[in-house]
Amino acid sequence: MGCCCGNNGNGCTHNTYKITVIPGDGIGKEVMEAALHVLNASGIEFDYTFADAGDEYAEKTGVALPQETIDAVKKSQACLFGAVGESAADVIVKLRKELDLYVNLRPVHSYGKAGKFGDVDFVIVRENTEGLYSGHEEYTDEGATALRITTRSATRRICDFAFDYAKKTGRSKVTAVHKANVLKKTDGIFKEVFYQTAEKYDDIESNDFYVDATAMYLVTRPQDFDVIVTSNLFGDILSDEGAGIVGGLGLLPSANIGDKNGVFEPVHGSAPDIAGKGIANPSAMILSTVLMLEYLGEPDEARKVEKALVETIDEGKIVTSDLGGSSSTMEMAEEVARKLSKL
């Protein structure tokens, strides 16, 4: 992932990064506070602009995502996004469309003793702008219909990203996930373009599976996967399955990336059932800052933040209850920050 200034991480001269922060609703606020505490312990300076979005803001104003927030994200070098509730389609989906954030990148990695496997390490590259999430729905006399959109141009750029990402990160295989045996035209195009793209990367292995088979393989042999590239809906579902494999949504970060902007968010939602209790796992939000640091061309600092978090999880002493501990969200963040400051 390249530097925000177009230098692809080489020779970036920024001293302070301009970051838009959208805490959102529920535990989004709590994990954001925790993640910023960790970031502030790093060797990098940030200029934060806090912006509004989400259910609570919509209740006050009638608008879930104000234009001022969109403008702030456009002017910043990256955006950290916490979580929103029922207004997700009006907030994060709209941000993706407004900024043409066509990549949703979701690493699925085993940390500590969480999860059913100890050696999982794959990445889901999800097309972020088309498919059933395009929002083209209408009611009919009998119910409703939804339009599933697949274009060659959007499929080509997401497949290019997947293979480029594999090459840059030292991964050896890209797997396309589709349902072309049933969705012969839309997923037929996806499969066709995938293999056309694969021809340009003869040093990267390529294969494909149906989405239902992939769902089974993820829980029986997840170690077989390296990079998965798929459509919007399939990627969303498989990502949550991946979270279950490695210990829950509290451990899964994501990046929404376009040619000019990047928005980084945990996969979990606003979790109103535990909001305000200070027990939310901040790992996914902290790992989202790791993805942001990579995007900004700061891979060394990204590795340090990740290492500090992994050491905290592995020790298991100061972690949240879902990781087997009894610490609060901020107590865990403070421990990660302490370890980071010593690296």
Taking only the tens place, the pLDDT of each residue in 167-177 is 999 999 999 99
Helix or strand (DSSP H, E) at 91: helix 88-98
Domains 15-101+254-343 and 116-246 share a fold: yes
Residues 274, 311, 224: CA angle, nearest 5 degrees: 85
Q: Specify the pairing of strand 227-230 against strand 78-83.
A: unpaired
Q: Chain centroid to CA 186: how far? A: 25
317 as an active site residue: the answer is no
How does pLDDT run across 211-244, given as a tens digit for each residue? Answer: 999 999 999 999 999 999 999 999 999 999 999 9
- Is residue 107 predicted with pLDDT exceeding 80? yes
**Confidence category of residue 2, pLDDT binned at 50, 70, 90:** very low
Q: Active site residue: 164, 240, 307, 322, which one? A: 240
> Please, are residues 50 and 240 in contact by the beta-carbon 8 Å criterion?
no
Q: What is the mean pLDDT of residues 107-126?
A: 88
Check residue 6 and give its pLDDT: 39
Torsion from C-alpha of 31, 35, 38, 44, nearest 10 degrees: -170
pLDDT given for residue 247 in this prediction: 86
| Mean pLDDT confidence for 53-74 | 97
CATH class entry, domain 15-101+254-343: alpha beta
Tokens of 143: 């119910």
Q: What is the pLDDT of residue 100?
A: 94
The mean pLDDT value for 122-135 works out to: 92
In this prediction, residues 322-330 reach a mean pLDDT of: 95
3 band by pLDDT with thresholds 50, 70 and 90: very low
Catalytic entry in 100, 212, 259, 314: 212
To the query of whether residue 133 is one of the catalytic residues in this protein, the response is yes
- pLDDT by residue (tens digit) across 283-311? 999 999 999 999 999 999 999 999 999 99
Report the CATH architecture of 116-246: 3-Layer(aba) Sandwich (3.40)
Domain boundaries, the chain: 15-101+254-343, 116-246
Strand partners, 209: 177
More confident of the two residues 249 and 101: 101
Can 74 be counted among the known catalytic residues?
Answer: no
Give pLDDT, residue 9. 41
Q: What is the average per-residue pLDDT within 122-129?
A: 96
Q: What pLDDT is stored for residue 133 in this prediction?
A: 85
Write down the catalytic residue from 17, 111, 236, 339: 236
Amino acid identity of residue 61, one-letter, is T
Give the count of beta carbons closer than 10 Å to the beta carbon of residue 188.
Answer: 15
DSSP sequence for 144-208: EEE--B--HHHHHHHHHHHHHHHHHTT--EEEEEE-TTTSTTHHHHHHHHHHHHHTT-TTSEEEE
Specify whether 212 is catalytic.
yes
Q: Please pick, among 29, 179, 304, 339, the residue that the annotation labels catalytic.
A: 179
Q: What integer pLDDT is reported at residue 115 of this predicted model?
A: 73
Rounded to an integer, the average pLDDT of 77-95 is: 94
In degrees and rounded to multiples of 5, residue 13 shows phi and psi of -105, 10
Under 8 Å between Cβ of 240 and 218: no
pLDDT band (50, 70, 90) for residue 121? very high
97 is catalytic: no
**What pLDDT shows up at residue 134?**
82
pLDDT, one tens digit per residue, over 4-42 is 443 434 444 447 999 999 999 999 999 999 999 999 999
Catalytic residue among 102, 111, 133, 165: 133
* Percent of the chain clearing pLDDT 90 (strictly above): 89
| Token pair listed for 275 | 């909001």
